[in-house]
Chain A
Amino acid sequence: MNTTRLLCCLGYILLAPFIGGLLDGIDRKLSARMQGRTGPSILQPFYDIIKLFHKQIFLVNHSQFFLVGSYLVFVIFSGALMFAGYDLLMSFFALTTAAMFLVLASCSTHSPFSAMASQRELLQMMSYEPMVLLACVGFYLATGSFQVSDIIQSNLSPIVFLPGFFIGFVYILTIKMRKSPFDISTAHHAHQEMVRGVTTEMVGSLYAITQIAEWYENVMLLGIVALFFINGNPISWPLAILGVLFVYFLETLIDNTTARLKWSKVLSSAWLVTLLFGGLNLLVLDLMIKYR
């Protein structure tokens, strides 16, 4: 049991950037196709990262190294926790800390674009945080444990009990992945009034590190999506992968078909969806457990 955990954890640490990068490449290709373009190679994100690491190192101030480094380390740590089968809630707390380091790295530069974007990033965090916590609670109610290793052993896929949580989670996943209606703090596209948002002042390898951290984070989040489908039966694993791919496709589609929202709409819609889908599902689940 312990060796499997260790292997999963190591597998995540070693493979996640490749999977994340590949997914990013697929996303760019898919987006191009949806827009009627050929688009870049699927390996384009890796070319970009390699180039970024070879550029001259520019710093706005020295604390950027530490803050961006902490962002990466904490993202990896939280993902490793999850893939090693530890406490889901704990791993999300670590992820929040990681996100906070990104905001601090952006704040530390005292640049107008970064500063504005870091406030927006904070707002995004505030928007998705309740749903993230509720999703953990949902897993706990559905399977009786916060431990990922127990959640994947359950008899029924958690999504059976958690349809509302799933909708809510996919909704905030759009915010977390910086996809279109919610890409207010930084976007993957060039049409940003915030220049590059929180990453504006991160040059070369620093920017590459934030990219890699983002890939780690995406893999971890998709892992949570998979967690909705996985149960004790091995057949559920390929199903989970299909589910993840479908959700990823959905995110790309949303990204390409929606226009950006104002920050107030981001907050209110995310909280509303959380309350409506997450809250209602929670209530129903709670009653089910009480009267079973």
Chain B
Amino acid sequence: MAKLNRSPWLLHYDGSSCNGCDIEVLACLTPVYDVERFGVVNTGNPLHADILLITGGINSQNQAVVQQIYSQMPNPKVVVAVGACACTGGIFKECYNIHGGVDTTIPVDIYVPGCAARPESIIDGVVKAVGVFQEKYEKYVSENKERKRSS
């Protein structure tokens, strides 16, 4: 079984947020936190991404977009919801246009709490996501094998 956990490529999507978490996500890439140590690359392209990092909640405008981006990521893939809004809808939860957290639209694997989430906790979330990524890969491979055997 190949080790995929050394090369997690991120796609960062900013939902309906106050941008606080986004700044913190970008801070992770700076020399102070240097998340590239773990092989993380911020790809900006769902077709190349392994981990979808979403900040902010889901509203009527971005719901379809998030769904499409998620569908464009090849398996195995992991979703990380960063910050209170992404986890539950946060302070905007009661707004007329907000559906709630990211899990209202796509399956979320890791929740990173905080308002705004601290870079340390974001990195922690990403590292956890990397573990899930490897697990999912193994599951994906065994599923494929079974499918081949049955057909």
Residues on B with C-beta less than 8 A from A56 are: 74-76, 140
Residues on A with C-beta less than 8 A from B75 are: 55-56
Question: Which of these, B2, B47, B74, B140, contacts A201 with CB under 8 Å?
Answer: B47
Tell me which residues from 46 to 72 in chain B have a Cβ below 8 Å from any Cβ of chain A: 47-48, 50, 72
Check B48 against A207 for contact (C-beta < 8 Å): yes
A35 within 8 A of B: yes
Residues on B with C-beta less than 8 A from A196 are: 43-45, 48
A243 within 8 A of B: no
Q: A42 CB to closest chain B CB, in angstroms?
A: 12
Bound: A54/B72 CA distance, A: 16
Check B37 against A54 for contact (C-beta < 8 Å): no
Bound: A192/B2 CA distance, A: 30
Q: B10 CB to closest chain A CB, in angstroms?
A: 9
A48 within 8 A of B: yes
A238 within 8 A of B: no
Check B43 against A190 for contact (C-beta < 8 Å): yes
A39-B34, A55-B75 known; A192 vs B44 contact (CB < 8 Å): yes
Residues on A with C-beta less than 8 A from B2 are: 50-51, 54
A192-B44, A207-B48 known; A39 vs B74 contact (CB < 8 Å): no
Q: B100 CB to closest chain A CB, in angstroms?
A: 29
- In the complex, which residue of chain A has the Cβ closest to the Cβ of B74? A56
Bound: A207/B49 CA distance, A: 12
Q: A118 CB to closest chain B CB, in angstroms?
A: 16
Residues on B with C-beta less than 8 A from A200 are: 45, 47
Check A39 against B36 for contact (C-beta < 8 Å): yes
A203 within 8 A of B: yes
B7 within 8 A of A: yes
A58 within 8 A of B: yes
- B1-12 CB mask vs A (1 if < 8 Å, else 0) is 011101101000
- A55-92 CB mask vs B (1 if < 8 Å, else 0) is 11110000000000000000000000000000000000
Check A51 against B41 for contact (C-beta < 8 Å): no
Main secondary structure of the interface of A (DSSP, over half): loop
Residues on B with C-beta less than 8 A from A28 are: 36
- In the complex, which residue of chain B has the Cβ closest to the Cβ of A49? B7
Bound: A51/B9 CA distance, A: 10
A234 within 8 A of B: no
Check B47 against A50 for contact (C-beta < 8 Å): no
A44 within 8 A of B: yes
Bound: A44/B8 CA distance, A: 11
A41-B39, A44-B39 known; A51 vs B7 contact (CB < 8 Å): yes
- In the complex, which residue of chain A has the Cβ closest to the Cβ of B12? A190
Check B37 against A38 for contact (C-beta < 8 Å): yes
Question: Which of these, B39, B50, B74, B141, contacts A40 with CB under 8 Å?
Answer: B39
Check B34 against A38 for contact (C-beta < 8 Å): yes
Bound: A40/B76 CA distance, A: 22
Q: What 6 pairs between A and B have smallest CB-CB spacing?
A: A56-B74, A190-B42, A47-B6, A56-B75, A51-B7, A47-B7
B residues adjacent to A (C-beta < 8 A): 2-4, 6-7, 9, 29, 31, 34, 36-39, 41-45, 47-48, 50, 72, 74-76, 137, 140-141
User: 17 pairs across A/B with beta carbons < 8 Å?
Assistant: A32-B34, A36-B31, A40-B37, A41-B6, A44-B7, A47-B7, A50-B2, A50-B4, A51-B7, A51-B50, A54-B4, A56-B76, A58-B74, A190-B41, A196-B45, A196-B48, A203-B74
